[in-house]
Amino acid sequence: MNILVTGGAGYIGSHTCVALLEAGHSVIVADNLCNSKADTLDKVKRITNKEITFYEIDVTDEAAVDRVFSNHHLDGVIHFAGLKAVGESVEKPIAYYYNNIVSTLVVVKICQEYNVKRFVFSSSATVYGDNTVPFVETMNLLPTTNPYGETKAIGERILTDIAKANPAFSISLLRYFNPVGAHESGLIGEAPNGIPNNLMPYISQVAKGKLKKLRVFGNDYSTVDGTGVRDFIHVVDLAEGHVAALDNITEGVHIYNLGTGQGTSVIELVKAFEEANGIEVPYEIVDRRPGDIASCYADASKAKRELGWTAKHDVKSMCRDSWRFEKNYKE
């Protein structure tokens, strides 16, 4: 298939380009590089020994997106493009609502105009809010605590309404849990701008000596050791989940959790990183971070049942691959 990957130069997008190319698909990327670099796509080409067509465009620009669709006979779209920093979304709600909602509307509108029926949307486990774990796709969604999370919940609702009005559409809403890790080549991975917000890149940068110590946000949650519990998923597994979703897509809207189904606490992840890589990660316990929930992990059985997809990598390989990428990475 010819697949348009919006946001394909980003962290999850670049790994998904690798998985798509390795599965024999052709890949067209549309990315404005607001949070990524073009050379990531050169690395994807090196890993796969295959070509990618790249458009440096903003996917909120309808005319630019239209040009891409008119240049290629597309079979499907994976829509990753979006802003994703939770804290920044509180400071800049207009930028987040505008970019994340308008991009989704523009891309799906052009899909409809060109009769491109397969659409895969990057959603997030954040839409579950403070439900009881494990999170199941049938749960009612609870309010999220920030504009970023709202853009995902709204994006899901928009796409659900569009699929109802146009039954030919096949839409998958993929709710990612906590993507970590990197491609085993060490060439592509997560390289956040500035000080990382997320746990794994923070741990890796402490290990590298770039940051002094990890601040563990709270050890008084009702979890195994009091620290937050998350469902970390290797980005390569996540990428393969997208290929499975595209292959299996059927008419209507389908929601899938992409997680491992296993919870790991912050301290457990620190220890796993230290053991996997033989390197110490100094940390201190500080106050809870506002907006955090105690536990977040998936019931991942629906994706297994319907897509035949399960996550294969364990926490140790997530830690090893994250560190390999960080060690090699030059700004």
Do 88 and 194 contact (CB within 8 A), yes or no? Answer: no
- Rounded to 10°, the helix 199-208/266-277 angle is 40
What 3-state class would DSSP assign to 64?
helix
**Structure token pair of residue 225:** 């050791």
Do 183 and 45 contact (CB within 8 A), yes or no? Answer: no
Cα distance between residue 208 and residue 279, in whole Å: 9
* Short-list 268, 272, 180, 259, CA closest to 226: 268
Cα distance between residue 148 and residue 41, in whole Å: 26
In whole angstroms, the minimum distance from the beta carbon of 280 to ligand NAD comes to 25
Is there binding between residue 54 and ligand NAD (CB under 6 A)? no
Is there binding between residue 7 and ligand NAD (CB under 6 A)? yes
Q: Which stretch binds ligand NAD (CB under 6 A): 31-39, 280-288, 310-318, 319-327?
A: 31-39
**Structure token pair of residue 296:** 């977040």
Q: Which does 34 bind (CB under 5 to 8 A by kind): ligand NAD, ligand UDP, none?
A: ligand NAD
Angle at 142 between CA 81 and CA 241, to 5 degrees: 40
Is there binding between residue 318 and ligand UDP (CB under 6 A)? no
**Structure token pair of residue 216:** 């563990």
Is there binding between residue 107 and ligand NAD (CB under 6 A)? no
Cα distance between residue 118 and residue 111, in whole Å: 9
Q: Which does 325 bind (CB under 5 to 8 A by kind): ligand UDP, ligand NAD, none?
A: none
Nearest residue (CB) to ligand UDP, 214 versus 258: 214
Residue nearest to ligand UDP (CB): 228
Is there binding between residue 232 and ligand UDP (CB under 6 A)? no
Q: Which does 82 bind (CB under 5 to 8 A by kind): ligand NAD, ligand UDP, none?
A: ligand NAD
Q: Which does 170 bind (CB under 5 to 8 A by kind): ligand NAD, ligand UDP, none?
A: none
Binder among 230, 234, 242, 320 for ligand UDP (CB under 6 A): 230
Q: Which stretch binds ligand NAD (CB under 6 A): 8-16, 110-118, 269-277, 318-326?
A: 8-16
Cα distance between residue 288 and residue 280, in whole Å: 23
Is there binding between residue 168 and ligand NAD (CB under 6 A)? no
Collect all residues with Cβ–Cβ distance below 8 Å to 85 and sequence separation of at least 6: 148, 197
Binding residues for ligand UDP (CB under 6 A): 178, 197-199, 202, 214-217, 228, 230, 266, 289, 292, 296
Binding site for ligand NAD (CB under 6 A): 6-7, 9-13, 31-36, 58-60, 80-84, 99, 103, 122, 124, 176, 179
